[in-house]
């Protein structure tokens, strides 16, 4: 008589059990799913990181187009394009100087009626580096404005002469000795007390020619002036070292600063166009 076959009471056999393999645990299945999700997420993050340079370029180009559109409402598209190009040249002076100091800097982002900005983790390890970075914008910006002005004067093109004039004025305004303007960066290596003089000039401009943009710049300048002066009143060893600049370097920064002011003032004189209202 044959032996009775065994009877299994319970759920049907799983394929793994049918071939004698142990059944995977619930925890292992969940961990595998989580691992697959993490791998997919990392793949997407890698794709985003590869696209970041293109995104930055798109941000610069997009904000430049928006600014051109805004300025076109006031001056026409041709002048607006030239003005945005001059802003770009000015800001690239800062970018180049930052990278020479070993500091990563973003491409310019344009803000209608406020100019353009770049971002970086610092402005150098000391006041001399900050001055070099600050002056690099007006230096390259003055070269750009000068090139446009010379072509305008030689070809007798009023549009280019006007662009040169505005470019000279833009860079000269940025040399006001108050942070966060470029002149204030230069004063960090020369005579920080001149920040107060620059702030007084800004307040005077607000009274003589009031406008919201100038008022906004004055508010930023006041906040930055207060913050920096408080640090200088109670200096740490790091702060003292930051503002320690040799007399030779102070003289060099001062010569570049005063020389730029003289060149820009002359440039404005030769490119000034008298506008008549008929």
- Integer Cα distance of 169 and 149 in angstroms: 12
Residue 228 has, within 13 A of its CA and on its CB side, a CA count of 21
At 11-46, the pLDDT tens digits run 454 444 444 444 556 565 655 555 555 555 545 544
**pLDDT value of position 139:** 96
In the chain, what is the straight-line distance between the N-terminal and C-terminal CA atoms, in Å?
Answer: 126
**pLDDT value of position 94:** 94
pLDDT band at 5 (very low <50, low <70, confident <90, very high): very low
SS3 120: strand
Whether the model clears a pTM of 0.85, i.e. scores above it, the answer is no
At 212-251, the pLDDT tens digits run 878 888 888 888 888 888 877 777 777 778 888 888 999 9
At 169-228, the pLDDT tens digits run 999 999 998 888 899 899 888 888 888 888 888 888 888 887 787 888 888 888 888 888
Residue 112 has pLDDT above 80, yes or no: yes
Residue 77 has pLDDT above 50, yes or no: yes
- Integer Cα distance of 127 and 250 in angstroms: 10
At 49-60, the pLDDT tens digits run 444 455 567 777
- Integer Cα distance of 159 and 156 in angstroms: 9
Residue whose structure tokens are 């008298």? 274
């Amino acid at each position: 008589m044959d032996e009775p076959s065994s009877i299994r009471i319970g759920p049907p056999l799983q394929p793994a059990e049918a071939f004698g393999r142990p059944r995977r645990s619930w925890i292992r299945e969940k961990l595998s799913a989580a691992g697959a999700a993490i791998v997919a997420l990392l793949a997407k993050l890698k794709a985003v990181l590869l696209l970041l340079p293109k995104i930055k370029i798109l941000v610069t180009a997009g904000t430049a187009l928006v600014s051109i559109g805004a300025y076109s409402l006031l001056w026409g598209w041709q002048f607006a394009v030239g003005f945005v190009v001059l802003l770009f040249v000015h800001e690239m002076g800062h970018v180049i100087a930052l990278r020479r100091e070993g500091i990563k800097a973003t491409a310019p982002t344009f803000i209608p009626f406020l100019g353009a900005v770049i971002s970086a983790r610092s402005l150098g390890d000391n006041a001399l580096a900050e001055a070099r970075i600050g002056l690099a914008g007006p230096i390259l910006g003055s070269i750009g404005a000068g090139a446009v002005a010379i072509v305008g004067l030689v070809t007798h093109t009023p549009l280019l002469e006007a662009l040169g004039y505005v470019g000279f004025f833009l860079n000269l305004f940025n040399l006001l000795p108050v942070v966060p303007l470029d002149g204030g960066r230069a004063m960090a290596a020369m005579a920080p007390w001149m920040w107060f003089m620059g702030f007084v000039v800004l307040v005077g401009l607000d009274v003589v020619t009031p406008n919201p943009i100038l008022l906004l710049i004055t508010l930023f300048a006041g906040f930055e002036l207060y913050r920096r002066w408080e640090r200088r009143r109670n200096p740490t060893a790091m702060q003292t070292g930051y503002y320690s600049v040799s007399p030779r370097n102070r003289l060099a920064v001062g010569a570049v600063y005063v020389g730029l002011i003289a060149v820009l003032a002359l440039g404005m004189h030769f490119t000034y166009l008298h506008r008549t209202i008929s």
